[in-house]
Structure 1
Amino acid sequence: MSSFILNANIYDFGTDAGAWRAPGTGPRDNLSEAFWRTVARTAEEGGLDGIFLADGPGLSSNPAIRPNRMVEPLATLAVVLSETSRLGVIATVSTGSNDPVELASRLLDYNLLSQGRFGWNVVTGLPELSAQDFKVPQTPERADRYARATEFLQVYAHYLDAVREGKDFHHSGERLQYSLARGELPTQGAAARFSTQVRPLIVQAGGSEQGRRLAAQSADAVFSAETVFEVARKNRLELHAMARESGRRPPVVLPGVHLVIGSTQAEAEARFQRVHQRGPKDYVLQRFSSLLDIPADRLDPQAPASALEQLAGSTERGSAGFRKSITAYGVANGLTIGQLIRHFSGFGHQFFVGTPEQFADVAERWWRGGAADGFNLLFDANPIGLREFVDHAMPVLRQRGIVPPEPVATPLAFAQRLQELSA
């Protein structure tokens, strides 16, 4: 069996709201080239497979409260590429605020410069605060977002085919229309020639039914929100079946894990508290409320987790995937809403606080049990969380045969490994 895929989801200073105030951290560090070069070297030298950057069109939070996601991911990953020779890089791009042909021409340049190490994560959202920047009168409903994304990816794929085969490109759809002669295609020369060898990987992260269908029809990898082993295994099997029905190779499934590593359980918990207590007052509650599209004043800390389904709104603004995974975890473990808020710290991914050996137990069970092909790792604080994982957890994972003793050094290894896993 192929080894586990491990990507570092670098959420700037870290996933915890207090990460930017951690000891030794400056509030502008994430705007410096040195920060990203350190992250890139640590991930590559430590044997991780790739770096994943989440993003959206516009600032996702108030910099006065928490300065994060302030640099456009394609610009950030250019620094990561220049510092590495093997590491895969995945940037999040919205289908709601881009043109598929223009985007494809840019991504093929990254594909060439990275020698096949590049991929993009498809998101469909257009935040309400960003809609005016793109002359959109109101935020599109979920069905409209996914209808555009489906056509967007069809255009993108057919355009790449035209580039690879050197032929004219035409598309006439409900939302997008193009008619380009071969000589008018924006992508020419070396980028076009290299695309005949490998094209950028496509990652999809939507957890709704529309998102899962889109992933099955187009994605090489899925960044999923899974918290319960049995549910994750079922989701992976369903995604594989849906992909085969579409005549495609099944995607690699990579659940997210928000983690804090310590040499003992007590040490890990102490470090979590040390960082977490530096976060803004009520930040976690407000983020949890926004994530699930439930007003904060309706979240009774003493109520059972099952109450979330009755409380939730339309999920047009909230995340259907996160709500499903959080509720499933709470019900499976008999937790209250208050315990869930603390446990997920405002995020919807599996939350792990413990030792390298305990994490290896989780990874091995999910991998060998068919629930995951790997994990996207979200560290509580960067770069310290990434460094501690590389120094302490990776050796244990190697000893157990979960990751290879030495990473394959060729630039194409990232794309090839994902393709081999999904074969």
Structure 2
Amino acid sequence: MSSEDTRTFHLNAFLMNAGHHDAAWRHPRTRPERATDLTYFRELALTAERGKFDSVFLADGLALRGNARHNVLGGFEPLTLLSALAAVTEHIGLIATVSTTFNEPFHTARKFASLDHLSGGRAGWNIVTSAGVEEARNFGQEEHLEHARRYDRAREFVDVATKLWDSWEDDAVVLDRERGVYAETGRVRPIRHTGEFFGVEGPLNVQRSPQGYPLLVQAGSSEDGKEFAARYAEAVFTAQQTLADGQTFYKDLKSRLARHGRAPEDIKILPGICPVIGDDEAQARELEQELTELQVPEYGLEQLSSMLQVDLGGLPLDGPLPDLPEERDINGNKSRFTLVAELARRDGLTLRELIARLGGGRGHRVVAGTAEQVADQLEEWFTEGAADGFNIMPPHLPGGLEDFVDQVVPILQRRGLFRTEYTGRTLRAHYGLPRPVNRLSAGA
């Protein structure tokens, strides 16, 4: 049997308050009052673990994005919540977003090493550079750092963090009570980093963790983002609307790895998908329409204005998009800007139609149908060179995740596309990735 025959999915559950549809909180199947209830997220994590998911993921921003009048915004800081979930789960990976623009490498390395110890090797870091001026203004800055400079800072940030994780060798702790030696001095080293953005002496004040490094995840699809992913990322969350676009992204990113001494299997590409599941296709379409009808146009227009960095307020909802800037002039999320702009142009959408199309996935693909139809779509992308797995974005929670676990996962398992049991203990093992070699050790 070839390696291609034995290749299987990776599945990540992207958890977001009441669900990914921006009107989910208004639907009777959701529990928006539980947005700051630990037991709610514990139930979600355990549902994903019951479905043998590789990981759960919590996104984050450092500002209250959007109008809290019309959606369930805010909530837990991700690393704090994942530390609590580590205590009540056994296998599932725990991935959190932390920005390299508004944090420091020492703090970040320390927190992820701690989570990796607490969870027995299940920590993952979604590395972002932050995209909005709202975040900059919470850190004493009137303008956001320019896009390319954010990535310059991110590269140095990750280099420093990995050096800190390597500052303790695996065998540094010897626990020699007779000699009175806890750790061998020569195996715990300062890193003495002096760079453009950071000066860090080290070593880290946390022993080397079970995975060595957390799983490194990235989500940007701009040119800067793809180059960053090719150099550092081990899993990539991405957004494409069509199979052809997914194949193009997949081939492009995998082709960049060799320049960094990496192989195609060193990175797992997981497009986002928002599955709206019904007993039959008509029921799924009906649920999709129910959610669309619960949308607040004012909120959708604000979200769209933010994505496109153009003030759309006051424009007729049944009219077209106005003229937009070029991607090169965008200082926020360039790839999402381009995806949304191209979607509107390709399908000739009005503002109202575009808001409806983006309601479920904010640019990620929405698939409405039976569990079998959803499984077919996933299998097609997986076998046709567009994905190594998927970032599952339930439109409503908790029911949307339960539907996927109880209905879609068994189909994938019967087809031999997804695990029936966990075979490893760490997040890296779930993703089929090696534990990093300590580059600072004497034998490196």
In structure 1, which of residues 218, 222, 243 is the aligned counterpart of residue 232 of structure 2?
218
What is the aligned partner in structure 1 of residue 173 from structure 2?
none
What is the aligned partner in structure 1 of residue 337 from structure 2?
323
In structure 2, which of residues 281, 292, 295 is the aligned counterpart of residue 276 of structure 1?
292
Q: For residues 344 and 27 of structure 1, do their structure 2 counterparts lie closer, same or farther at Cα, with a shift above 3 Å needed? A: closer
Residues 59 and 70 in structure 1, CA contact (< 8 A), matched pair in contact too: no
Alpha-carbon shift at residue 80 of structure 1 (Å): 2.2
Residues 428 and 434 in structure 2, CA contact (< 8 A), matched pair in contact too: no
CA distance in 2, matches of 1:308, 1:263: 42
Q: For residues 198 and 311 of structure 1, do their structure 2 counterparts lie closer, same or farther at Cα, with a shift above 3 Å needed? A: closer
In structure 1, which of residues 368, 372, 382 is the aligned counterpart of residue 383 of structure 2?
368
CA distance in 2, matches of 1:91, 1:85: 17
CA distance in 1, matches of 2:297, 2:253: 39
What is the aligned partner in structure 1 of residue 403 from structure 2?
388
Aligned AA for 1:275? L
What is the aligned partner in structure 2 of residue 44 from structure 1?
49
Alpha-carbon shift at residue 23 of structure 1 (Å): 1.2
Q: Does 1:133 align with 2:103?
A: no
Per-residue CA deviations over 1:385-404 (Å, capped at 9, x if unaligned) read 11111111112222222212
CA distance in 2, matches of 1:363, 1:217: 27
What is the aligned partner in structure 1 of residue 125 from structure 2?
120
In structure 1, which of residues 177, 186, 189 is the aligned counterpart of residue 204 of structure 2?
186
In structure 2, which of residues 154, 159, 162 is the aligned counterpart of residue 154 of structure 1?
159
What is the aligned partner in structure 2 of residue 291 from structure 1?
307
Q: For residues 279 and 243 of structure 1, do their structure 2 counterparts lie closer, same or farther at Cα, with a shift above 3 Å needed? A: same
Aligned AA for 1:418? Y
What is the aligned partner in structure 2 of residue 354 from structure 1?
369
Alpha-carbon shift at residue 59 of structure 1 (Å): 2.1
Aligned length: 408
Alpha-carbon shift at residue 58 of structure 1 (Å): 2.5
CA distance in 2, matches of 1:276, 1:313: 32
Q: For residues 69 and 6 of structure 1, do their structure 2 counterparts lie closer, same or farther at Cα, with a shift above 3 Å needed? A: farther
What is the aligned partner in structure 2 of residue 62 from structure 1?
67
Aligned AA for 1:74? L
CA distance in 2, matches of 1:94, 1:176: 15
What is the aligned partner in structure 1 of residue 241 from structure 2?
227
Secondary structure at the counterpart of residue 297 of structure 2: coil
What is the aligned partner in structure 2 of residue 169 from structure 1?
191
Aligned AA for 1:381? H
CA distance in 1, matches of 2:123, 2:75: 21
Q: For residues 150 and 352 of structure 1, do their structure 2 counterparts lie closer, same or farther at Cα, with a shift above 3 Å needed? A: same
What is the aligned partner in structure 1 of residue 220 from structure 2?
206
Q: Does 1:262 align with 2:278?
A: yes
Alpha-carbon shift at residue 364 of structure 1 (Å): 0.8
Q: For residues 421 and 368 of structure 1, do their structure 2 counterparts lie closer, same or farther at Cα, with a shift above 3 Å needed? A: farther
CA distance in 2, matches of 1:86, 1:397: 20
What is the aligned partner in structure 2 of residue 30 from structure 1?
35
Per-residue CA deviations over 1:253-284 (Å, capped at 9, x if unaligned) read 11111221111111112112223333333322
CA distance in 2, matches of 1:84, 1:11: 18
Q: Does 1:244 align with 2:249?
A: no
Q: For residues 349 and 421 of structure 1, do their structure 2 counterparts lie closer, same or farther at Cα, with a shift above 3 Å needed? A: farther
Structure 1: gaps (5+ residues):
none
Alpha-carbon shift at residue 79 of structure 1 (Å): 2.7
CA distance in 2, matches of 1:160, 1:214: 20
Residues 274 and 367 in structure 2, CA contact (< 8 A), matched pair in contact too: yes
Structure 2: gaps (5+ residues):
1-5, 170-186, 436-444
CA distance in 2, matches of 1:13, 1:362: 25
Aligned AA for 1:353? A
CA distance in 1, matches of 2:93, 2:57: 8
Aligned AA for 1:294? V
TM-score (norm 1): 0.89
Secondary structure at the counterpart of residue 53 of structure 2: coil
Residues 18 and 25 in structure 2, CA contact (< 8 A), matched pair in contact too: yes
In structure 1, which of residues 98, 107, 116 is the aligned counterpart of residue 112 of structure 2?
107
Alpha-carbon shift at residue 137 of structure 1 (Å): 4.0
Alpha-carbon shift at residue 26 of structure 1 (Å): 4.3
Alpha-carbon shift at residue 100 of structure 1 (Å): 0.5
Residues 24 and 395 in structure 2, CA contact (< 8 A), matched pair in contact too: yes
Identical residues among aligned pairs (%): 31
After superposition, the CA RMSD in angstroms is 2.5
**Mean Cα deviation higher: 322-331 or 111-120:** 322-331
Aligned AA for 1:417? H
Alpha-carbon shift at residue 20 of structure 1 (Å): 1.6
What is the aligned partner in structure 2 of residue 74 from structure 1?
79
Aligned AA for 2:338? K
